[in-house]
């Protein structure tokens, strides 16, 4: 049987998910894109993917390879597994690769630039992630322009890029495609983020660039064994995925090599990664304080979030973005797509910022409640839904609070029911398995009365202020 026929006859794209997803989060993502195939390793670190998948979808073990038949997930027909031994109900990855290579020209002939390249899951507002669709045109050109910006004024021919980022993130995916555009080597130091292996790779391979979140750079700067490794070859420390203060950028430039520059880009999954970028040729002050200028073929305006009217330079408003790099939309969520994409294809970022007279963008905050913890997008409602299901909880509200290492940490305010008790540890244990581990709050504060407006809406900005004060942050 030709297990690859379905993939060849109809165009197939990849939708990557976080390996830490709970069962329900995985099913939400899988059903959102109507997945026909699941691609897994047998196991990774402490995660046993095949074993767990067979528990979640028992029909796999009794199915012939490539003929999975699940009542709960009728679109699923194939489980592709990278394993050292045959596993019931799976097709080995080598068979899929062999079939793809044999029919490569046929597949290329069917493709066009506006076909989906990938689907990336980004934070949702109803407990389930939204599936953002990126095309070949939007993403590949974003990789090209990002590379051009980062090498502006650089004559160094021996560029070596280090990428410790996960490839299910749009930032990591951009780096995975980087060598195809730049024709320069990209080093992946470990399977999963490993601080020690990252430093060893810089030392051994004399890497000249690294892409990472601010948290990753903070970890490297504070690592107790950092002095054992020569990191001076680093010329470009590329940052993204979370808030990065001027102080962190300055520390990076001072503690790697004499020629090190901290270069930050601004964007999101919906902008195919990059919307603005610092260039090495930009003035030092701009490099440390801004997120750069709009990339080529991209428009940015600072708009009144209510009217969409463009505001003068220096005024604060919502950052709106338009260009080739804007995503196609959220799969099967037309209403959510319309919330962020206007009829004239402006993407409403939900971020607050300003633009100076030279066109440099400053990001100063967010309109939405999204928490970005170490580069991971976490929406409070995902956590609140689960916390509110605890028998002792009357109501919960989740906010982000500042954290030097992670950018933001998660703080849950909990109002308990009368004559009911619960501790922070009990609530953490309750959440395990219901949401991804990175969404479990670090802090729990117990409050009887939560601040509300006249119409009963909880005032999260006051909760955030209260958390910062009580936690001494």
Burial of 206 (0-12, 13-18, 19+ CB in 10 A): middle
Cβ–Cβ contacts within 10 Å for residue 341, how many? 19
Q: In whole angstroms, what separates CA 258 from the centre of its chain?
A: 31
What is the C-alpha separation between 36 and 165, in angstroms, rounded? 27
- State how far the alpha carbon of 335 is from the alpha carbons of 109, 329, 339, 340, in Å: 34, 10, 6, 9
Specify the DSSP class assigned to residue 437.
G
Per-residue pLDDT of the chain (473 residues; tens, 9 = 90+): 233 233 333 457 889 988 888 898 899 999 999 999 999 999 988 889 999 999 999 999 999 999 999 999 999 999 999 999 989 999 998 888 877 667 777 777 888 889 999 999 985 433 467 999 999 999 999 999 998 888 776 655 578 999 999 888 899 999 999 888 888 899 999 988 899 999 999 999 999 999 998 888 888 988 999 999 999 999 999 998 877 778 889 889 999 888 899 999 999 999 999 999 999 999 999 999 999 999 999 999 999 998 999 999 999 899 999 999 999 999 999 999 999 999 999 999 998 889 999 999 998 777 777 888 998 888 888 898 899 889 999 889 999 999 999 999 999 999 998 889 999 999 999 999 999 999 999 999 999 888 865 445 678 888 999 999 999 99
- Distance between CA atoms of residues 19 and 121, nearest Å: 12
- Could you tell me the two tokens for 443? 């802090």
Q: How far apart are CA 413 and CA 105, in angstroms?
A: 56
Q: What digits encode the pLDDT tens for the residues 311-352?
A: 999 998 999 999 999 999 999 999 999 999 999 999 999 988
Give tens-digit pLDDT for 216-264. 888 898 899 999 999 999 999 999 887 777 888 988 999 988 889 999 9
DSSP labels, 109-121: HH--TTSEEEEEE
Q: How far apart are alpha carbons 299 and 361 in whole angstroms?
A: 12
The CB-side HSE value for 285 (13 A sphere, CA atoms) comes to: 1
The burial class, CB within 10 Å (0-12 / 13-18 / 19+), for 176 is: middle
CA angle 255, 214, 165 (to 5 degrees): 110
Predicted model pTM: 0.80
The H-or-E segment that residue 14 falls in is: strand 14-16
CA-closest candidate to residue 235, choices 287, 144, 148, 159: 159
Task: Say how far apart CA 461 and CA 450 lie, in whole Å.
Answer: 12
438 token code pair: 């990175």
Radius of gyration, alpha carbons of the chain: 23
Q: Are strands 37-41 and 78-82 parallel, antiparallel or unpaired?
A: parallel
Going by the DSSP 8-state scheme, the letter that residue 458 receives in this structure is B
Sheet containing 443-446, strands listed edge to edge, beginning at the edge strand earlier in sequence:
393-403, 407-416, 443-446
What structural domains and CATH numbers belong to the chain?
5-111 (no CATH), 131-366 (3.40.50.12780), 371-471 (3.30.300.30)
Token pair for residue 132? 């953002």
For 150-182, the DSSP string reads HTTT---S---EE--S-TTSHHHHHHHHHHHHH
Measured CA to CA in angstroms, residue 51 lies from 16, 64, 91, 133 at distances of 19, 17, 15, 30
Residue carrying the six token digits 């119409």: 455
Q: Is 287 helix (H, G, I), strand (E, B) or coil?
A: helix
The beta-strand segments (E) located in 292-369 are 293-294, 298-303, 317-323, 329-330, 347-355, 361-366
């Amino acid at each position: 049987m030709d297990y690859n026929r379905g993939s060849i006859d109809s165009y197939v794209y990849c939708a990557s998910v976080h390996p830490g997803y709970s069962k329900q989060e995985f099913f939400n993502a899988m059903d959102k894109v109507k997945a026909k195939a699941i691609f897994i390793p047998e196991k990774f670190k402490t995660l046993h993917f095949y074993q767990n998948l067979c528990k979640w979808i028992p029909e796999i073990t009794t199915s012939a390879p490539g003929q999975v038949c699940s009542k709960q997930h009728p679109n699923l027909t194939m489980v592709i597994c990278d394993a050292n031994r045959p596993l019931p109900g799976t097709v080995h990855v080598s068979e899929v690769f062999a079939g793809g290579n044999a029919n490569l020209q046929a597949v290329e002939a069917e493709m066009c630039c506006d076909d989906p390249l990938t689907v990336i899951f980004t934070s949702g507002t109803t407990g389930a992630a939204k599936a953002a669709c990126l095309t070949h045109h939007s993403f590949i050109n974003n990789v090209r322009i990002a590379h051009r910006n980062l090498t502006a004024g650089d004559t160094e021919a021996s560029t070596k890029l280090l990428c410790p980022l996960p490839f299910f993130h749009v930032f990591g995916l951009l780096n995975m495609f980087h060598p195809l555009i730049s024709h320069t080597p990209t080093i992946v130091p470990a399977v999963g983020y490993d601080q020690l292996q990252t430093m060893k790779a810089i030392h051994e391979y004399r890497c000249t660039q690294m892409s990472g979140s601010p948290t990753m750079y903070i970890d490297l700067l504070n690592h107790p064994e950092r002095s054992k490794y020569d990191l001076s070859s680093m010329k470009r420390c590329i940052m993204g995925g979370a808030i990065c203060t001027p102080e962190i950028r300055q520390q990076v430039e001072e503690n790697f090599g004499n020629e090190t520059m901290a270069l930050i880009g601004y964007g999101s999954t919906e902008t195919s990664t990059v919307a603005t970028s610092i260039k090495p040729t930009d003035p030092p002050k701009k490099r440390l304080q801004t997120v750069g200028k709009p990339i080529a073929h991209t428009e940015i305006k600072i708009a009144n979030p209510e009217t969409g009217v463009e505001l003068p330079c220096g005024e604060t408003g919502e950052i709106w973005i338009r260009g080739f790099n804007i995503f196609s939309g959220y799969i099967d969520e037309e209403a959510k797509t319309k919330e962020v994409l206007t009829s004239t294809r402006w993407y409403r970022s939900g971020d607050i910022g300003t633009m100076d007279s030279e066109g440099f963008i400053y990001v100063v905050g967010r309109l939405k409640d999204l928490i970005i913890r170490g580069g991971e997008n976490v929406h409070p409602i995902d956590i609140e839904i689960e916390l509110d299901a605890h028998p002792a909880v009357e109501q919960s509200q989740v906010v982000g609070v500042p954290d030097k290492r992670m950018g933001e940490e998660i703080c849950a305010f909990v109002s308990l029911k009368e004559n009911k008790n619960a501790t922070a540890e009990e609530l953490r244990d309750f959440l395990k398995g219901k949401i991804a581990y990175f969404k479990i709050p670090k802090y729990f504060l117990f409050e009887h009365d939560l601040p509300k407006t006249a119409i009963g809406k909880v005032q999260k900005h006051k909760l955030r202020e209260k958390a910062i004060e009580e936690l001494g942050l």
